[in-house]
Every structure is written in structure tokens, then in C-alpha cells.
Amino acid sequence: MKEAKFGTKSIWAGEKDSLAFGATQVPVVHSVSFGYDDMDDWYEVAIGNKKGHIYGRNTNPTVEAFEEKIRILEGAEAATSFSTGMAAISNTLGTLLHPGDRIVSIKDTYGGTNKIFTEFLPQLNIDVMLCDTGDHEAIEQEIEKGCKVLYLESPTNPTVKITDIKRMAQAGKAVGATVIVDNTFATPVNQNPIELGVDLVIHSATKFLGGHADALGGAVCGSKELVEKIYHYREINGATLDPMAAYLLLRGMKTLKLRIDKQNQNAQEIAEFLKQFEVVEDVYYPGLAEHAGHDIAKQQMKGFGGMLSFAVKGGVDTVRHLLPKLKYANRAANLGSVETVVGPARTTSHVECTPAERAAMGIPEGLIRYSAGIEDIEDLKQDLEQAFQALPRDLAVQS
């Protein structure tokens, strides 16, 4: 039989070993520890010679099913999980980087990741080089100077910039760096960084993987050798995924393919639809032919994702009037949910920056991040249209 397709795998993969009592759904095992009557058995499991569970901070059957599903969807040899996406990132960097090491990354990483680079790694005497996102020559030059880790994100938050992952992975490998990609925005439906040559794929499962904005979690996928080291760091440092969250994420992942296909479609239609409004200054979406990263995105992505952003004339004033009028959107900081979610970049992804810093990063104060949900597209379009029409006249015609 041929290997199952993605949609089939997202439903069936990884669950079998965690089913019990003939249950067809993975049970939520709320047990801190796992008991043994046979002392030798206990010992064999404890030292890793035999499959089994010892203590919830290390492993748990529900959590294991989540890890197995994301491992299979990313086509990786191994995967481990975390309490949040940020825990996945900090534990991975904590495993790989030591005082005196150098890391090369880009300026447009997720806000929390950027804080690790600018605030916490320098405290450990780790040299951080952040390059202009999309400037491939500059990134290659910095990689060639030598680095322990190359850390990338594509598409980025909030202006969905694209980095050529294959090209950067080659450059990173040439100097012996561990190459990491945060694949949260794309999801394995749209992009497979391991196929493009990277070592480790990171996810905030809180976003598209879970898809329902009701559970926090993170994952790292890659070679057995690297993932085992990162797992060891996590089991000791304790950023463990909770079994209930693992269950909710697992349930969400069953519909991953359906949701992402719909979100890809909705985001593309919304991006094109927004261009006609006078008050919309710019639309950022890699699925638009005029987007700077469109050609690379077309090569490395199967779909362009559910995230877009757009800048409105009149800046914060317009945002203040516009967003509260939307009926089918949560005004919130999350993304990747079945509901459409909107928020200004100045309040969400880049809240830690000053207006001047945001301007320097190419993030206008009137930038709105739009995470397309799975609603019917006609309703989303109508909703935006009525919100634009209800803008005070002086804002709507501002240029």
C-alpha cells in the first residue's frame, strides 16, 4: 500500500500506541507517576531499556501521542513537546548554545524570540547577529563568519516576509551550524523545512496545530540525536506539556489539513479583496504576485498560509475605529484559530518595541495583522466592507 496522504495522516498518525481499553480516542492520562510491581521492570523502564512511563515531567501517554503525530506530519525522525512555543524555542537554544557561541538570525522573528536574542542570550555571553529579513546575501555573509546556530522563521510575523530556506540551510550546513526553522505560520501542510534541508523544526502548537485557541503547547522535530538532547534539557528544566493540553492539540490536529486548506483560500481572497479600498495603503501576503517573497514562497510552500497583514491610512486612529466594527473577528493576540483574529502589530507581535523601533523594522503604526479563520469567505468580505464603510469620513478619505 502507498504511504497515506497528509489529510489521512493528520487523522490517524501517532495515536495507536496510546490507545487503551479499546478506546478509539487517545485517553487523557492524568497521572503524575506510573507504578511498577516488578522492581526489575521498573528499573529497565527507568534507564530507558524498555518502553514505558515513569514520571509525568518526563513522559506521558497522551503527550507522547501528540509528539508522534507532529513527528509524522513533519516527516522527522523524532519529536518532543513543550508547555508553550516559547518553551520549545528557549529550551532548544538552551540545549545548543553555550557561552562564547554565535547565533545568526533575522530581525523579524516572533517578538518573544527576538527578546531571547536581544535580552537573554547576550547575558550568557552568546553573540547574536540579527540580519535584515530577506537580505539573503547579508545572511550568507554572516553565516560564513561562523556560527553554532542559524535560526530562521518564514513567513514572519507580521509582514509575512519570506526567507529562502533551502539556500540558507545549505549555507548554514557548510559552516557546521545547526539550522532551525520556526514553522508556526506555515504549518507542515504548507511547508516542510526538513525536506528543505534544515535540522530542527519548531512549532508553537498554540496556533495553527491546535487551531482552536484553547490550549498552549510547543514542539521540536528533527534527528533523533538532536531531539534526544533537547528532550533531556526539557525533562530536567521542566517545561512539560500538560496531558489535557496535549489532548486538545491532538484533537485539533485531526482537522489540520481541512482547516489550513480553507485558511489558505480565505487569506488569499481577503488579501486580494483588501486592495480595492482607498484607506488600505498596503497589503502583505506571500500569495500576492507583487509580494517581495512571492517567487521563493511559490517554490518552497505548497500554500501561502492563513496569515496576512495590511496597513491603513490614518494610522492608529483608523485602527481604533475599524477593528471594533468587525463582527466576525476576535480582537486578540493569538492567531491560527478557526475564528478570524485581528490585532494591530503595535499591540500584538511588536508590543515590546517603541514606535521608532517599529518604524525601523518597517512596521507602520496602522499595520493590522489578520489571521484568516475558516468562516465562509462572503461573510468575511462583507464584514470588512461594512467596517470600512462605517469609518468616519475624514479617516476614510485620508491619504
Ligand X SMILES: *Cc1c(COP(=O)(O)O)cnc(C)c1O
Q: Which is nearer to ligand X, 6 or 110 (CB)?
A: 110
Residues contacting ligand X: total by CB under 6 A: 15
> Smallest distance from the beta carbon of 182 to ligand X, in angstroms?
5
Q: Is 342 in the site for ligand X (CB under 6 A)?
A: no
Alpha helices in 301-374 (DSSP H): 315-322, 355-360
Considering only residues 164 to 183 of the shown chain, the ones binding ligand X according to CB under 6 A are 182
| Rounded-to-integer distance, Cα 136 and Cα 138, Å | 5
Q: Which of 218, 293, 315, 366 binds ligand X (CB under 6 A)?
A: 218
Q: Is 216 in the site for ligand X (CB under 6 A)?
A: yes
- Is position 71 annotated as part of the catalytic site? no
| Rounded-to-integer distance, Cα 92 and Cα 176, Å | 17
| Rounded-to-integer distance, Cα 262 and Cα 259, Å | 5
Q: Which is nearer to ligand X, 143 or 186 (CB)?
A: 186
Q: Which residue is nearest to ligand X (CB)?
A: 85
Q: Which is nearer to ligand X, 218 or 305 (CB)?
A: 218
Considering only residues 140 to 159 of the shown chain, the ones binding ligand X according to CB under 6 A are 153, 157
Residue 307 DSSP code: E
Question: CA-CA distances (angstroms) from residue 144 to 100, 139, 141?
Answer: 17, 9, 5
φ, ψ of residue 72 in degrees (nearest 5): -70, -40
Q: Which is nearer to ligand X, 110 or 370 (CB)?
A: 110
Q: Going by DSSP bridges, is the β-strand pair 330-331/307-312 parallel, antiparallel, or unpaired?
A: unpaired
| Rounded-to-integer distance, Cα 191 and Cα 171, Å | 20
Interacting residues of 178 by C-beta distance below 8 A, sequence separation 6+:
96, 148, 149, 150, 172, 199, 200, 226
Q: Is 348 in the site for ligand X (CB under 6 A)?
A: no
Which amino acid, one-letter code, is at 280? Answer: V
| Rounded-to-integer distance, Cα 277 and Cα 153, Å | 30
Closest of 159, 163, 150, 158 to residue 191, by C-alpha:
163
Q: Is 59 in the site for ligand X (CB under 6 A)?
A: no
Q: Is 84 in the site for ligand X (CB under 6 A)?
A: yes
Half-sphere exposure of 7 (CA within 13 A, CB side): 5
Site string for ligand X, 180-209 (x = CB under 6 A): --x-xx------------------x-xx--
> Smallest distance from the beta carbon of 114 to ligand X, in angstroms?
10
Q: Which is nearer to ligand X, 185 or 284 (CB)?
A: 185
Q: Which is nearer to ligand X, 112 or 197 (CB)?
A: 112
- Is position 298 annotated as part of the catalytic site? no
Q: Is 13 in the site for ligand X (CB under 6 A)?
A: no
- Is position 285 annotated as part of the catalytic site? no
> Smallest distance from the beta carbon of 86 to ligand X, in angstroms?
4
Residue 329 · residue 386 · CB < 8 Å: no
Strand boundaries in the chain, DSSP class E: 78-82, 102-106, 127-131, 149-153, 178-182, 200-204, 218-222, 280-284, 307-312, 330-331, 341-344, 367-371
> Smallest distance from the beta carbon of 210 to ligand X, in angstroms?
9
The single residue of 69, 148, 207, 234 carrying the catalytic annotation is: 207
Q: Is 80 in the site for ligand X (CB under 6 A)?
A: no
Stretch of 2-10, 41-49, 79-87, 191-199 lying at the interface with ligand X (CB under 6 A)? 79-87
**Residue positions annotated with a catalytic role:** 57, 110, 182, 207
List contacts with ligand X (CB under 6 A). 84-86, 110, 112, 153, 157, 182, 184-185, 204, 206-207, 216, 218
